[in-house]
Structure 1
Amino acid sequence: MDILVLIGRILYVMVFFTSAAGHLTQTAAMAGYAQSKGVPAAKAAVLGTGVLQVVGALSVLLGVWADLGALLLALFLLPTALLMHAFWKETDPGSKQNEMIHFFKDIGLAGASLMLCALIAFAGDELGLTLTGPLFDLD
């Protein structure tokens, strides 16, 4: 069972490492996009969310307070869905569909992050193949 959880953690964080790489290497372009969506301090927000994704994903991947890492990823995803993918504001059908897909992807990943946080915190030290136990205790 532990190996399945580890494989799941590896697969789960891949999307965040990929996204973080874009945030940290294409900051200007991403900041321009974020600014067009009304995000204040767009460059700082892009860099901050890139770092947040790296920290959260590394935490989940390595099993270092992985429950906290999963929570950090949810805290990235929920505002991102609302601010960056507000499909209800779009008038062009293609843009609306694209934003809706990204919105629900982020919402679904946020839900998975919250479940992962709870499951790791509940499993406690019985979850193997981690460097530390969870930060939170949900016994």
Structure 2
Amino acid sequence: MPSSSAFLANQKDALLLLSRILLVILFVLFGWEKLLDYSGTVKLMNMEGAPLPAISALVAIVLEFFVGIALLIGFQTRPLALVLALYTIGTAIIGHHYWSVPPADHMNMMIHFYKNLSIAGGLVALGAAGPGRYSVDRG
């Protein structure tokens, strides 16, 4: 009977595809919403205190939707995964600053902050591992 590590090694490409899908689903869905409602996205960026809200909205749309799609299909996976990881850390700091919210919002913001950091960790791992065989990059 093969060991679990041998099984995982044999399924590496399928698991990397699954990883790409699971990591970007959130970005693609919310990036699409931002794309469809650009003015609402600008208002949200302004409410969150993002610098240059109109430009921040464009950056969010490009990174979430278009980079998300690129990662989904495995195009330029290594560098784009790292760029999206940095973006995700930035959104944690700008949008989920649990250290400066009222006590009633503290736990919710803290959960979202650390969830962003966890997603960034997955993106860094994807950047290190590459997209796998089932991708445009094929590696």
Structure 2 residue 24 is the aligned partner of structure 1 residue 24: no
C-alpha displacement of 1:4: 2.3
* Alignment pair present for 1:105 and 2:110: no
Task: Could you tell me which runs of 5 or more consecutive residues in structure 1 were left unpaired when the two chains were aligned.
Answer: 122-126, 135-139
Tell me how far apart the structure 2 counterparts of residues 10 and 37 of structure 1 sit (CA, whole Å): 28
- The answer to whether the 8 A contact 2:23-2:123 is kept is no
Aligned to 1:62: 73
1:40 partner SS: coil
Q: Does residue 26 of structure 2 align to residue 15 of structure 1?
A: yes
Give the TM-score normalised by the residue count of structure 1. 0.81
In structure 2, C-alpha distance between the alignment counterparts of 1:101 and 1:27, rounded to whole Å: 27
Gaps of 5+ in 2: 1-10
Deviation at 1:82, TM superposition (A): 0.5
Cα distance in 2 for residues equivalent to 1:108 and 1:5: 17
Runs of 4+ in 1 over 6 A off after TM superposition: none
Tell me the TM-score normalised to structure 2 length: 0.81
Q: CA RMSD in A?
A: 1.8
Within 5 Å, which residues of 2 pair with 1:1-139?
A: 1=11, 2-91=13-102, 93-120=103-130, 127-133=132-138
Residues 29, 65 of structure 2: 8 Å contact kept: no
Q: Distance in 1 between matches of 2:128 and 2:34?
A: 28
Amino acid at match of 1:74: A
> What is the CA distance between 1:50 and its match in structure 2?
1.1
Q: Percent identity?
A: 28
Superposed displacement of residue 32, structure 1: 2.1
Q: Work out the number of aligned pairs and report it.
A: 128
Contact (CA 8 Å) 1:64, 1:130: kept in 2 or not?
yes
In structure 2, the CA distance between the partners of 1:22 and 1:117, relative to structure 1 (3 Å rule), is same
Higher relative contact order (CA 8 A, sep 6+): 2
CA distance in 2, matches of 1:50, 1:40: 15
Give 1:101 shift: 1.5
Q: Highest Rg: 1 or 2?
A: 2
Q: CA deviation at 1:106?
A: 0.9
